[in-house]
Amino acid sequence: MSTSTHQRKYTLNEEFFDTWSPKMAYVLGFWFADGCMRIEKSYRIMFSSNDFAILSDIRDALGSNAPITKNNHDQAFDFRVYSKKLYAKLQELGGSRRKSRIMVFPYVPKEYLRDFIRGYFDGDGSVFFTEYTRTKDGRRGRSLRTNFTSGSEKFLNDLMIILRDEINLPIQKLGVYNNGSSLKLGYGTRDSDTLLNYMYYEGYQIGLIRKAAFVFKIPKYQKHVMRRFEVNTTLF
Protein backbone atom coordinates (compact mmCIF):
# COMPACT_ATOMS: atom_id res chain seq x y z
CA MET A 1 0.00 0.00 0.00
CA SER A 2 1.27 3.45 -0.85
CA THR A 3 -0.05 6.64 0.64
CA SER A 4 0.19 9.67 -1.59
CA THR A 5 1.52 12.86 -0.02
CA HIS A 6 3.05 14.49 -3.13
CA GLN A 7 1.52 17.93 -3.68
CA ARG A 8 -1.16 17.08 -1.17
CA LYS A 9 -2.33 18.94 1.86
CA TYR A 10 -3.71 15.70 3.30
CA THR A 11 -2.65 12.08 3.07
CA LEU A 12 -4.58 9.52 1.02
CA ASN A 13 -4.06 5.91 -0.02
CA GLU A 14 -4.77 6.21 -3.74
CA GLU A 15 -4.56 2.42 -4.14
CA PHE A 16 -7.37 1.77 -1.67
CA PHE A 17 -9.87 0.57 -4.29
CA ASP A 18 -7.27 -1.49 -6.17
CA THR A 19 -7.47 -4.55 -3.89
CA TRP A 20 -10.57 -6.20 -2.47
CA SER A 21 -10.78 -6.54 1.29
CA PRO A 22 -13.61 -6.44 3.86
CA LYS A 23 -12.94 -2.75 4.56
CA MET A 24 -12.63 -1.85 0.88
CA ALA A 25 -15.95 -3.59 0.09
CA TYR A 26 -17.67 -1.88 3.03
CA VAL A 27 -16.44 1.58 2.05
CA LEU A 28 -17.50 0.97 -1.56
CA GLY A 29 -20.97 -0.12 -0.40
CA PHE A 30 -21.31 2.92 1.83
CA TRP A 31 -20.28 5.18 -1.05
CA PHE A 32 -22.93 3.63 -3.31
CA ALA A 33 -25.49 4.59 -0.65
CA ASP A 34 -24.25 7.95 0.59
CA GLY A 35 -21.48 9.10 -1.70
CA CYS A 36 -21.00 11.18 -4.80
CA MET A 37 -18.26 12.06 -7.28
CA ARG A 38 -17.62 15.33 -9.09
CA ILE A 39 -15.20 16.82 -11.59
CA GLU A 40 -14.96 20.54 -11.08
CA LYS A 41 -11.52 22.04 -10.69
CA SER A 42 -10.35 18.65 -9.46
CA TYR A 43 -11.50 15.05 -9.09
CA ARG A 44 -13.55 14.86 -5.91
CA ILE A 45 -15.05 11.88 -4.09
CA MET A 46 -17.35 12.59 -1.15
CA PHE A 47 -19.02 10.58 1.61
CA SER A 48 -21.91 12.02 3.66
CA SER A 49 -23.53 10.87 6.88
CA ASN A 50 -25.35 12.11 9.96
CA ASP A 51 -22.88 10.01 11.93
CA PHE A 52 -19.43 11.49 12.43
CA ALA A 53 -17.91 8.27 13.75
CA ILE A 54 -18.49 6.19 10.62
CA LEU A 55 -16.95 8.91 8.44
CA SER A 56 -13.95 8.87 10.76
CA ASP A 57 -13.64 5.10 10.29
CA ILE A 58 -13.90 5.49 6.51
CA ARG A 59 -11.28 8.23 6.61
CA ASP A 60 -8.95 5.94 8.55
CA ALA A 61 -9.55 3.11 6.07
CA LEU A 62 -8.57 5.44 3.22
CA GLY A 63 -5.39 6.45 5.01
CA SER A 64 -6.43 10.08 5.07
CA ASN A 65 -6.17 12.88 7.58
CA ALA A 66 -8.49 15.24 5.69
CA PRO A 67 -11.09 17.03 7.83
CA ILE A 68 -14.67 15.93 8.25
CA THR A 69 -16.83 19.02 7.87
CA LYS A 70 -20.36 19.95 8.96
CA ASN A 71 -22.81 20.50 6.15
CA ASN A 72 -25.06 23.25 7.48
CA HIS A 73 -27.53 22.77 4.63
CA ASP A 74 -28.84 19.42 5.92
CA GLN A 75 -26.99 19.10 9.26
CA ALA A 76 -24.97 16.13 8.02
CA PHE A 77 -21.20 15.61 7.91
CA ASP A 78 -19.11 15.43 4.74
CA PHE A 79 -15.76 13.80 4.08
CA ARG A 80 -14.01 14.61 0.80
CA VAL A 81 -10.92 13.26 -0.91
CA TYR A 82 -9.36 14.50 -4.15
CA SER A 83 -7.66 12.04 -6.50
CA LYS A 84 -7.83 11.42 -10.24
CA LYS A 85 -6.55 7.86 -9.72
CA LEU A 86 -9.10 7.02 -7.04
CA TYR A 87 -11.85 8.65 -9.12
CA ALA A 88 -10.97 6.54 -12.16
CA LYS A 89 -10.88 3.35 -10.09
CA LEU A 90 -14.24 4.13 -8.56
CA GLN A 91 -15.65 4.50 -12.08
CA GLU A 92 -14.21 1.09 -13.00
CA LEU A 93 -16.06 -0.35 -10.00
CA GLY A 94 -19.39 1.03 -11.20
CA GLY A 95 -19.44 4.50 -9.68
CA SER A 96 -20.80 7.40 -11.68
CA ARG A 97 -21.96 10.98 -11.29
CA ARG A 98 -25.67 11.47 -10.55
CA LYS A 99 -25.88 7.74 -9.80
CA SER A 100 -28.90 7.69 -7.50
CA ARG A 101 -31.49 6.61 -10.09
CA ILE A 102 -29.31 4.80 -12.61
CA MET A 103 -26.82 2.74 -10.62
CA VAL A 104 -26.69 -1.04 -10.78
CA PHE A 105 -25.23 -3.47 -8.29
CA PRO A 106 -21.48 -3.62 -9.07
CA TYR A 107 -19.35 -6.72 -9.37
CA VAL A 108 -18.24 -7.73 -5.88
CA PRO A 109 -16.33 -10.98 -5.20
CA LYS A 110 -18.52 -13.45 -3.34
CA GLU A 111 -16.38 -13.41 -0.21
CA TYR A 112 -16.89 -9.64 0.19
CA LEU A 113 -20.58 -9.38 -0.66
CA ARG A 114 -21.71 -9.24 2.96
CA ASP A 115 -19.31 -6.36 3.66
CA PHE A 116 -20.48 -4.39 0.62
CA ILE A 117 -24.12 -5.00 1.55
CA ARG A 118 -23.51 -3.96 5.18
CA GLY A 119 -21.84 -0.78 3.90
CA TYR A 120 -24.85 0.01 1.74
CA PHE A 121 -27.19 -0.89 4.61
CA ASP A 122 -25.37 1.53 6.92
CA GLY A 123 -25.87 4.29 4.37
CA ASP A 124 -29.36 3.60 3.01
CA GLY A 125 -30.83 0.88 5.17
CA SER A 126 -32.75 0.59 8.43
CA VAL A 127 -33.51 -1.94 11.13
CA PHE A 128 -36.40 -1.46 13.54
CA PHE A 129 -39.28 -3.07 15.41
CA THR A 130 -42.87 -2.41 14.41
CA GLU A 131 -45.77 -3.07 16.75
CA TYR A 132 -49.07 -4.62 15.72
CA THR A 133 -52.29 -6.06 17.15
CA ARG A 134 -53.00 -9.75 16.59
CA THR A 135 -56.33 -10.29 14.86
CA LYS A 136 -56.83 -13.65 16.57
CA ASP A 137 -56.71 -12.53 20.19
CA GLY A 138 -56.16 -8.73 20.16
CA ARG A 139 -52.81 -9.04 21.90
CA ARG A 140 -50.01 -6.66 21.06
CA GLY A 141 -46.91 -7.99 19.33
CA ARG A 142 -43.86 -6.65 17.60
CA SER A 143 -42.00 -7.62 14.47
CA LEU A 144 -38.40 -7.04 13.42
CA ARG A 145 -38.04 -5.25 10.08
CA THR A 146 -35.17 -4.34 7.77
CA ASN A 147 -35.26 -2.08 4.72
CA PHE A 148 -32.90 -1.06 1.94
CA THR A 149 -33.81 2.11 0.02
CA SER A 150 -32.64 3.49 -3.31
CA GLY A 151 -33.74 5.68 -6.18
CA SER A 152 -32.62 2.92 -8.54
CA GLU A 153 -35.07 0.09 -9.12
CA LYS A 154 -32.37 -1.85 -10.95
CA PHE A 155 -29.99 -1.69 -7.97
CA LEU A 156 -32.59 -2.97 -5.52
CA ASN A 157 -33.68 -5.74 -7.87
CA ASP A 158 -30.03 -6.78 -8.31
CA LEU A 159 -29.59 -6.75 -4.53
CA MET A 160 -32.75 -8.82 -4.05
CA ILE A 161 -31.49 -11.50 -6.44
CA ILE A 162 -28.09 -11.60 -4.72
CA LEU A 163 -29.73 -12.00 -1.30
CA ARG A 164 -31.90 -14.77 -2.73
CA ASP A 165 -28.87 -16.58 -4.11
CA GLU A 166 -26.67 -16.02 -1.04
CA ILE A 167 -29.07 -16.54 1.87
CA ASN A 168 -32.36 -17.64 0.28
CA LEU A 169 -34.35 -14.45 0.92
CA PRO A 170 -37.56 -14.17 -1.13
CA ILE A 171 -38.14 -12.33 -4.38
CA GLN A 172 -40.83 -9.73 -3.82
CA LYS A 173 -42.32 -6.50 -5.06
CA LEU A 174 -40.48 -3.32 -4.14
CA GLY A 175 -42.33 -0.77 -2.02
CA VAL A 176 -42.60 2.99 -2.40
CA TYR A 177 -40.56 5.13 -0.02
CA ASN A 178 -40.14 8.81 0.85
CA ASN A 179 -43.34 10.00 -0.82
CA GLY A 180 -42.52 8.13 -4.00
CA SER A 181 -39.08 9.65 -4.54
CA SER A 182 -37.38 6.30 -3.98
CA LEU A 183 -38.09 2.61 -3.53
CA LYS A 184 -37.54 0.16 -0.69
CA LEU A 185 -36.70 -3.50 -0.36
CA GLY A 186 -38.12 -4.68 2.96
CA TYR A 187 -37.98 -7.91 4.94
CA GLY A 188 -40.02 -9.22 7.87
CA THR A 189 -38.89 -10.90 11.07
CA ARG A 190 -37.62 -14.26 9.83
CA ASP A 191 -35.88 -12.86 6.76
CA SER A 192 -34.49 -9.91 8.75
CA ASP A 193 -33.03 -12.39 11.20
CA THR A 194 -31.28 -14.20 8.34
CA LEU A 195 -30.07 -10.92 6.83
CA LEU A 196 -28.64 -9.56 10.09
CA ASN A 197 -26.79 -12.81 10.75
CA TYR A 198 -25.33 -12.54 7.24
CA MET A 199 -24.20 -8.91 7.51
CA TYR A 200 -23.14 -8.90 11.16
CA TYR A 201 -20.92 -11.94 11.00
CA GLU A 202 -18.50 -12.52 13.85
CA GLY A 203 -15.31 -10.51 13.44
CA TYR A 204 -16.53 -7.99 10.86
CA GLN A 205 -14.15 -5.06 10.76
CA ILE A 206 -16.11 -1.86 10.19
CA GLY A 207 -19.68 -0.66 10.58
CA LEU A 208 -22.00 2.03 11.88
CA ILE A 209 -21.94 1.80 15.66
CA ARG A 210 -25.41 3.30 16.08
CA LYS A 211 -26.99 0.65 13.88
CA ALA A 212 -24.90 -2.12 15.41
CA ALA A 213 -25.97 -0.93 18.87
CA PHE A 214 -29.61 -1.49 17.91
CA VAL A 215 -28.76 -4.99 16.75
CA PHE A 216 -26.88 -5.51 20.00
CA LYS A 217 -30.11 -5.03 21.93
CA ILE A 218 -31.43 -8.17 20.23
CA PRO A 219 -29.92 -10.88 22.49
CA LYS A 220 -28.98 -13.39 19.78
CA TYR A 221 -26.62 -10.87 18.13
CA GLN A 222 -24.90 -9.63 21.27
CA LYS A 223 -21.69 -11.63 20.99
CA HIS A 224 -20.98 -10.46 17.43
CA VAL A 225 -21.53 -6.76 18.04
CA MET A 226 -20.01 -6.78 21.51
CA ARG A 227 -16.73 -8.18 20.23
CA ARG A 228 -16.53 -5.55 17.51
CA PHE A 229 -17.52 -2.42 19.42
CA GLU A 230 -17.40 -3.26 23.14
CA VAL A 231 -20.77 -1.59 23.54
CA ASN A 232 -21.56 -0.22 27.00
CA THR A 233 -24.91 -1.81 27.89
CA THR A 234 -25.71 0.95 30.37
CA LEU A 235 -26.42 3.22 27.41
CA PHE A 236 -29.62 1.37 26.50
Rounded Cα–Cα distance for residues 140 and 131 (Å): 7
Looking at residue 161, its pLDDT comes to: 98
Average pLDDT, integer, range 169-198: 92
C-alpha pair distances (Å), 124 with each of 136, 181, 201: 35, 14, 19
Class of domain 16-118: alpha beta
Please say if the pLDDT value at position 236 is more than 60.
no
Give the count of beta carbons closer than 10 Å to the beta carbon of residue 227: 12
174-180, long-range: CB within 8 Å, 24+ apart, which pairs?
A: 177/147, 177/149, 178/149
Note whether 16-118 and 120-235 share their fold: yes
Contact 152, 177 (CB under 8 A): no
163-170, long-range: CB within 8 Å, 24+ apart, which pairs?
A: 163/117, 163/195, 166/110, 166/113, 166/114, 166/198, 167/194, 167/195, 167/198, 168/194, 169/194, 169/195
Residue 223's pLDDT band, with cuts at 50, 70 and 90, is: low
Residue 2's pLDDT band, with cuts at 50, 70 and 90, is: low
Task: Indicate the helix (H) or strand (E) that contains 44.
Answer: strand 43-49
Please say if the pLDDT value at position 50 is more than 50.
yes
Single-letter amino acid code for the residue at 58: I
Looking at residue 216, its pLDDT comes to: 64
**CATH homologous superfamily of domain 120-235?**
Homing endonucleases (3.10.28.10)
Ranges of each domain in the chain: 16-118, 120-235
**DSSP secondary structure code for residue 57 in this structure:** H
Please say if the pLDDT value at position 93 is more than 50.
yes
